[in-house]
Structure 1
Amino acid sequence: MIPFILLTLLGLTVGIVFASFFEWTLHKYVMHRPVGKFRYAFNAHAVVHHQVFKADQTYHLHDEKDKETIPMAWWNGAVLTMIGAIPFACISLLVGNWGFTVGGVLAFAAYYCFYEYIHWCMHLPKARRVEKPHWFRKLNGHHLLHHRYMHKNFNVVLPLADYLLGTLILRAKTTFMQARGPAVPDVQPESV
C-alpha cells in the first residue's frame, strides 16, 4: 500500500498539471461560448469581462465600477475545486487511500487562488512584489494576447495546455495599440 503522504504529493503534482487542462477547457468551452441554456459563465466572461478589458489601455482598470468584473464570483472557487476533485476521488476509491484526493484538492484550490490573484494584479496593477518577476511579465503578456485574440492563450496560470493543445500565441500577428506598464511586456510582432 502506498503511504498517504506519497499519494498526497502525487495528487498535488498531477493536480497542478490537470488544473492547467481544466482551466483551458473551462475557459474555452464554458467561458467563451454558451453551453446549452447555461450562459452564466459566458456572459460574465466573454460578454462582460472582455467588453470592459481589451488589449489596449483598457486592459488595466480605468473605472472603479468595473472592478467587480475582474474576479469570478466568490463561490466559483469551491464549485470548480469540487468538480476538479471528482477524478481524484474516483482514483482514491480504487486504491483505497484518500491521499491522492487530498493532494488534488489542495492543488486545485491553490491553482484557483493563484489564478484569481495574478489575474487581479494583471488588470489592476499596483507595482506589487508579485508583478516584478520575469514569470509574471511573461504570464501578463500571455494574458494580454488572450484579450487581443480571444481564441488563443486560454491559460492564465500555467500555459501548458495552451502549448500542448495548439492555442499558444507568443506575439501579436499584427501591430496594435497595446496596454503599457512596468509589468506588461511588448507583445507586438517581431520586426523582420
Structure 2
Amino acid sequence: MDTKSLIINIATTLFQQKGYIGVGLSEILKACDLSKGSFYHHFPNGKEELLIACLHTLNEVITKDIEEIFELYPTTQEATNRMIEKLNVNFETEGTITGFTFSSIISEIASLSETVRGADSDLYSKMQRIYSNKLAADGFPKESAESIELMMKASMEGGIMLCLTQKARNPLKVISQVLLNLLKEFKKIHE
C-alpha cells in the first residue's frame, strides 16, 4: 500500500472513531509513523483535504458494497434485510460499524465547509440512486420510490448511530423489522 493510501485508511478509521475535530494532526502523524513534511507532500491543503480524500474513499467502498447487495437480491426487502444483517454482523464482530457510516465524521464539519458538504452530498446521492432504482424495479412509482428510499436511508443511518452510542445492536434489529414491514405494506398499496 502506498503512503497516501495508508494515510487515508488510518485517518478514516480515526475520524470514524473520534470525529473530525476529535482527531488532531499529530495523532494522524503518529498513527501513520509520518513526518509533517511527508503528510503535507500528500495533502498540501492539510487535514480538510485529507478528510475529503477519506470521504471519497468511503464513497467508493460504501457504494460498491450497497450496489453488490442490491444487485444480488431480487427485491428491495431482501436486499435491505441483507444489508442490515451485514451491519449487525460487523457490529457484533468488531464492536463498531466503521466503513458503513460517515455521519460521525461529517456531522461536525459539513456545515462549515462547502467542499466537505459536497463530498457528503455525493455519497448520499449515490445511495439514493441505488435504493430508488431497486424500488422502481420492484414496481414502486418514481415519487414513492424517492420518498421510501429517503426513509430507508435516514432509518439506517440513525440506526447505525444509535448502535454506536448505545453499544448495542438492537436499534438496527428493530429498524430492520420495521423497514421490512413498511416495505411489504407499501408494496401492497402499489400492486
Same fold? TM cut 0.5: no
Compare relative contact order (CA 8 Å, sep 6+) and give the higher one, 1 or 2.
Answer: 1
What TM-score results when the alignment is normalised by the length of structure 2?
0.31
Higher helix share: 2
